[in-house]
């Protein structure tokens, strides 16, 4: 398939402002986001195409190269677009229940064509931080959040005496103006639903929805990492007038550990060894992310910085038992406190080893 022009992809002109480019991208990304279109390849393609275009057109340097040389100016990878969308936080907003996120999931164009009437409920974002070691085995977390549910007073009907809206005659839209310049807009009496209530519910004032705080126990699977998302279907805001319920999307952040650090499924740990252990070799007990210890063998003549690999002691993949590896970096540490006796022994050792004060330079990478 031939690559489409980036301006065409975003539907903006060549002299669009950065703000217009951002708005255009956000609209397309929101309408085609994989979270709201699971398994929809066409939407995924549109999302990727728009993200790639935005990646280039939002970067003044890349934009200039593209404007001057077209795709050829960006190198073979088409501008270095990174797959995934962890870096688009300024587009989707962050923190708490984001308005941008809400409207992004609320449907509008994104669920066009689905078989429903009414207004779909907004999907909501929930930010959850878990401990590093909880990501190893998974964890159960209590969350508390506020969302719109069906009004308990009217069972979500909004009231009684529903009848066809007299303003628009049930079409939900009205014509304004006349002649060539008439415009169609959403009916202000029924807000586009085509019907009105003779006796709107006093509790929800006819919306059929009320706000409720809910507690949920959520199972966070083993292997999640910062940037992982969990979607709880139907736990967002309830839809109006028969529209589908939104989702609750949990954005995970995993806290750093003091000693372990993680790279994908692999985990790294630095362990100090003494100069004698480095010289003679040793067997050491080292903690793992499982909470236990493993025995590792340090070979004689080990240089500082050597990496030992322990297979299968890294993180599991989400929904898989396959685990990454653990890498132990050995750091040779000189003794901190040296007694007079030890000082003498080290001097004797230095003599015995024939150490020189004219060292030969060595390969920098070694």
195 is a site residue for Zn ion (CB under 5 A): no
The residue within the footprint of Zn ion, chosen from 53, 154, 273, 289 (CB under 5 A), is 154
Burial class (CB in 10 A: 0-12, 13-18, 19+), 142: exposed
Taking the complex as a whole, how short is the minimal distance between the CB of residue 176 and Zn ion, in angstroms? 13
238 is a site residue for Zn ion (CB under 5 A): no
Quote the tokens at residue 333.
Answer: 């540490």
DSSP result, 277-336: HHHH-EEEEEE-TTSSEEEEEEPSSPPTT-EEEETT-SPBPTT---B--EEEEEEEE--S
Q: Pick from 232, 211, 210, 208: which is nearest to 117 by CA?
A: 208
The residue within the footprint of Zn ion, chosen from 21, 136, 190, 230 (CB under 5 A), is 190
Piece of the chain touching Zn ion by CB under 5 A; list 36-44, 83-91, 193-201, 331-339? 193-201
Per the CB < 8 A criterion, the answer to whether 28 and 10 are in contact is yes
Q: Which is nearer to Zn ion, 194 or 324 (CB)?
A: 194
The residue within the footprint of Zn ion, chosen from 12, 91, 204, 278 (CB under 5 A), is 204
What dihedral do alpha carbons 70, 57, 107, 230 form, nearest 10°? 100
Taking the complex as a whole, how short is the minimal distance between the CB of residue 208 and Zn ion, in angstroms? 6
Q: Which residue blocks in the chain are alpha helix, DSSP H?
A: 6-10, 18-32, 41-57, 60-69, 89-92, 99-105, 134-137, 275-280, 340-353
Taking the complex as a whole, how short is the minimal distance between the CB of residue 193 and Zn ion, in angstroms? 7
Q: Pick from 230, 236, 192: which is nearest to 211 by CA?
A: 236
Using CB under 5 A as the binding criterion, the count of chain residues that bind Zn ion stands at: 12
Site for Zn ion in 299-328 (CB under 5 A): none
151 is a site residue for Zn ion (CB under 5 A): yes
The residue within the footprint of Zn ion, chosen from 58, 203, 265, 270 (CB under 5 A), is 203
The residue within the footprint of Zn ion, chosen from 57, 197, 201, 267 (CB under 5 A), is 201
Q: Which is nearer to Zn ion, 3 or 199 (CB)?
A: 199
209 is a site residue for Zn ion (CB under 5 A): no
Residues binding Zn ion (CB under 5 A):
151, 153-154, 165, 167-168, 187, 189-190, 201, 203-204
């Amino acid at each position: 398939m031939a690559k489409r022009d980036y301006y065409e992809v975003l539907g903006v002109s060549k002299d669009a402002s950065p703000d217009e480019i951002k708005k255009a991208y956000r609209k397309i990304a929101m309408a085609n986001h994989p979270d709201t279109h699971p398994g929809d390849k066409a939407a995924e393609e549109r999302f990727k195409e728009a993200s790639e275009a935005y990646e280039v057109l939002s970067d003044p340097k890349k934009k200039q190269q593209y404007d001057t040389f077209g795709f050829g100016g960006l190198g073979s990878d088409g501008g270095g677009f990174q797959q995934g969308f962890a870096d688009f936080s300024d587009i989707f907003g962050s923190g708490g229940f984001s308005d941008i996120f809400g409207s992004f999931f609320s449907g509008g164009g994104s669920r066009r064509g689905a078989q429903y009437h009414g207004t779909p409920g907004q999907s909501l974002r929930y930010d959850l931080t878990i401990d590093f070691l909880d990501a190893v085995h998974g964890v159960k977390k209590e969350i508390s959040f506020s969302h719109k549910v069906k009004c308990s007073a009217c069972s979500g009907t909004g009231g009684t005496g529903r009848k066809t809206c007299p303003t628009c005659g049930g079409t939900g839209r009205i014509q304004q103006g006349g002649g060539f310049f008439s415009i169609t807009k959403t009916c202000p009496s029924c807000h586009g639903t085509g019907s009105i209530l003779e006796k709107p519910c006093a509790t929800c004032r006819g919306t059929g929805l009320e706000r409720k705080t809910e507690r949920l126990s959520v199972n966070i699977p083993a292997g999640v990492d910062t940037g992982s998302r969990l979607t709880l279907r139907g736990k967002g805001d309830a839809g109006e007038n028969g529209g589908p319920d939104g989702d609750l999307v949990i954005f995970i952040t995993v806290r750093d550990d003091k000693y372990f650090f993680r790279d994908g499924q692999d985990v790294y740990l630095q362990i100090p060894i003494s100069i004698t252990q480095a010289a003679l070799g040793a067997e050491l007990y080292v903690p793992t992310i499982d909470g236990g210890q493993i025995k590792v063998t340090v070979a004689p003549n080990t240089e500082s910085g050597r990496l030992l690999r322990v297979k299968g002691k890294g993180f599991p993949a989400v929904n898989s038992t396959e685990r990454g590896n653990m890498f132990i970096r050995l750091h040779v540490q000189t003794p901190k406190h040296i007694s007079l006796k030890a000082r003498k022994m080290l001097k004797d050792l230095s003599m015995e080893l024939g150490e020189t004060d004219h060292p030969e330079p060595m390969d920098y990478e070694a």
